[in-house]
Chains A and B, each alone.
Chain A
């Protein structure tokens, strides 16, 4: 069950709230009548049970925002697994199919494959964001688990980060999303990425 613990802080014009499952949220402006929330998931493996939590989190976000309705869009990244794991289109398609069939049953209102809506899958598209992020900021947002093996990391850590921003930017515009649901473990990533993206709300979800 979700329950609000306290309103803790405000930062400029942004309102920051703290909840239990939604750890906190950052909202740009008064909530719209219909929340359109995006949730990005990497289609490396078939979907897992924990995904069923997100429609509930979305509903809770709607209640807290006082909106009339909420629509939850899954943004299924089927491109990065093909790139990073050298999968064929066919191999990836098998896994992606599971998301397409299963997520609506779990309560997601829309399911979009990244390969369907991101057409520019190039170096140029990704690198456009790279001038606006510093090395020290990037290092801070790497999870501790990665920092401990930093000697084994490659430049693809940067590429993955940039790619993800690229996907979110297009998704926010293409599907007119008002906000994103994000696992709290990706907090620093989203706080950094947020500045490069069109205005949107972020709801950080405690997934542990």
Chain B
């Protein structure tokens, strides 16, 4: 059986400095949904031994999911090839609020939240990219003190109607949702970041297309060569209903989730997403896509396990960590063998209802979540005779051995 997980992880630690241009582009393109433009990308790579590559984030959330990591994986390829990575933390723009993909009014962040979010964000992306490769900038450094004369000269070039009538703004206004003046200015501010740093390449997700176009315009008007834009797709969530990965849709895999949780969630994605996830997280070359897709088609379960193994291993740079999760997953779900260490042990009085005992475990948001799981017949006792659906009124004393809640949580009750 072909081992893509091992192959891609081995590649992960390679240096790509000095790689031939088309070979390098062959690695970049599988990660991109759109490039503006490929010819200019080729030209820039050929002309500049060290490109200035920009990736910006607004620290608007503290906990991120692996969908946020997709552009980071593309950024990492540039870092491996020895390019200069300008990592912009939008502490100024976060106060303004990126309008991208906003279908509701955004509450601007206060400085304390921003500082806290930056810290946790950096810690999380550090699992996927060597932070020492990043030149970190805070855009308030140059945006905040920018003199009125300078910003006037830039704003003078941007048509007000055009800026206000972005498609996403029109949709929001049609739905009676607010669009702030600050949001109208957002793309221009991103453009100022690019001008300030003299950027050659910018990376982001496809949702930012309108902002990127504004960036290019600002660069053009500042008599600079427009940056080349590489846009990654927006990762689809685990539920398979076509929705993007998002906390609010509950279809996400948190960067800070345990390896077990990550592995399990990756195993739950529909087969049609395996290829997309591989392209997003592995260094796949264009010429390998056909072989990879054929492998996924023929062995979807194996491919998914390798994908999950790889995603765990990328974090720790050790294939063993991914393989350990794979083994544990196979034992629990394929061979149905639950070990003691797989279970959370709960000590409870034998007369306590199982609903109360589980609620006290701290593993669930609230009792409502648990009740829902009971209603969906998601709480089962597992014993030698098979699985029995449990009702919430059953007391601990009546439950034998292991209780499985949902797909991946196991409990053992010990009489207290």
Q: Is B175 part of the contact surface with A, judged by Cβ < 8 Å? A: no
Please state if B182 and A131 are interface contacts (CB–CB under 8 Å).
Answer: yes
B154's nearest neighbour on chain A, judged by CB, is A155
| CB contact list, B135-161 vs A, under 8 A | 140, 143-152, 155-161
Cβ contacts A120-161/B at 8 Å (1 or 0 each):
011110111011111110110000000000110111111101
Contacts of B147 in A (CB 8 A): 121-123
Q: Of A86, A131, A159, A162, which is in contact with the most chain B CB atoms at under 10 Å from its CB?
A: A131
Residues of B within 8 A of A132 (CB): 180
Contact call B155/A156, Cβ cutoff below 8 A: yes
- Candidates A134, A138, A153; contact of B159 at CB < 8 Å: A153
Does A79 lie at the interface of the complex (its beta carbon under 8 Å from any beta carbon of B)?
A: yes
Q: Are B152 and A83 in contact, CB atoms less than 8 angstroms apart?
A: yes
Q: Looking at the assembled complex, report how far the CB atom of B397 sits from the nearest CB atom of chain A, in whole angstroms.
A: 58
B105 smallest CB distance to A (angstroms): 9
In whole angstroms, what is the CA distance A121 to B143 when docked?
12
Which one of A134, A135, A159 has the highest number of Cβ atoms from chain B below 10 Å of its Cβ?
A135
Q: For A139, give the chain B residue with the smallest CB separation.
A: B164
CA A150 – CA B180 in complex, angstroms? 18
Chain B minimum-CB-distance residue to A152? B159
Q: Which of B95, B151, B161, B184 is the most central at the interface, judged by chain A CB atoms within 10 Å of its CB?
A: B151
A163 contacts chain B at the CB level, 8 A cutoff: yes
- Main secondary structure on chain B at its contact with chain A? helix
Instruction: Closest A residue to B146 by CB, please name it.
Output: A123
Beta-carbon contact of A131 and B180 below 8 Å:
yes
Q: Which residues of A contact B152 (CB under 8 A)?
A: 83-84, 156, 159
Q: Is the CB of B95 within 8 A of A155?
A: no
Min CB–CB distance B189 → chain A (angstroms)? 8
CB-based contact A127/B160 at 8 Å? no
B142 (CB) vs chain A CBs: closest residue: A123
Q: What is the minimal beta-carbon distance from B109 to any residue of chain A, in angstroms?
A: 10
A122 with B161, Cβ < 8 A, contacts A135-B179, A156-B156, A159-B151 known: no
Residues of B within 8 A of A82 (CB): 149
User: Which A residues are in CB contact (< 8 Å) with B151?
Assistant: 123, 126, 159
A133-B181 contact, Cβ under 8 Å, with A150-B161, A153-B161: yes
Known pairs A84-B152, A154-B156; A124 contacts B161 (CB<8 A): no
CB-based contact B164/A151 at 8 Å:
no
Interchain CA distance A159-B169 in the complex, whole Å: 19
**A24 CB, nearest partner CB in chain B, Å:** 27
Are A127 and B96 neighbours in the complex by a CB distance under 8 Å?
yes
With an 8 A cutoff between CB atoms, is B185 at the interface?
yes
How far apart sit A131 and B96, CA to CA, in the bound complex (Å)? Answer: 6
Residues of B within 8 A of A84 (CB): 152
Interface residues of B in 93-138 (CB under 8 A from A): 95-97, 108
B161 touching A136, Cβ below 8 Å: no
* Range of interface residues on A (Cβ < 8 Å): 20 to 34
Find out whether the CB atom of B96 lies under 8 angstroms from the CB atom of A135.
no
Given A153-B161, A154-B160, A155-B188 in contact, is the A83-B149 Cβ separation under 8 Å? Answer: yes
Nearest CB of A to B388, in Å: 55
Instruction: Kindly identify which residue among A124, A131, A155 contacts B160, using a CB–CB cutoff of 8 Å.
Output: A155
Assess the B96–A130 pair: CB atoms within 8 A.
yes
| Contact partners of A162 in chain B: CB under 8 A | 181
A91 to chain B, nearest CB (A): 14
Task: Give the one of B152, B169, B181 with max A CB within 10 A.
Answer: B181
Task: Check A126 against B184 for contact (C-beta < 8 Å).
Answer: no
Residue on A nearest B92 in the bound complex, by CB: A124
Assess the A127–B185 pair: CB atoms within 8 A: yes
Cα(A159)–Cα(B180), bound, Å = 13
In the assembled complex, the CB of B196 is this many whole angstroms from the nearest CB of chain A, namely 12
Residues on B with beta carbons closer than 8 Å to the beta carbon of A150: 160-161
In the complex, what's the smallest C-beta–C-beta distance from A81 to chain B, in angstroms? 12
Residues of B within 8 A of A156 (CB): 152, 155-156
Q: Do A130 and B180 have beta carbons less than 8 Å apart?
A: yes
The 3 A-B residue pairs whose C-beta atoms are closest, nearest first, are A124-B144, A130-B182, A155-B155
Query: What are 9 pairs between A and B in contact, CB < 8 Å?
Result: A122-B144, A123-B144, A126-B151, A132-B180, A139-B164, A153-B160, A154-B160, A157-B160, A158-B185
B residues sitting closer than 8 Å to A (CB atoms) are 92, 95-97, 108, 140, 143-152, 155-161, 163-164, 169, 173, 178-185, 188
Additional A-B contacts beyond A124-B140, A131-B97, A158-B155 (15; CB < 8 A):
A79-B148, A83-B152, A86-B149, A122-B148, A123-B148, A127-B182, A131-B108, A135-B173, A135-B181, A136-B179, A155-B156, A155-B185, A158-B184, A158-B185, A161-B181
Q: Which residues of A contact B (CB under 8 A)?
A: 79, 82-84, 86, 121-124, 126-128, 130-136, 138-139, 150-151, 153-159, 161-163
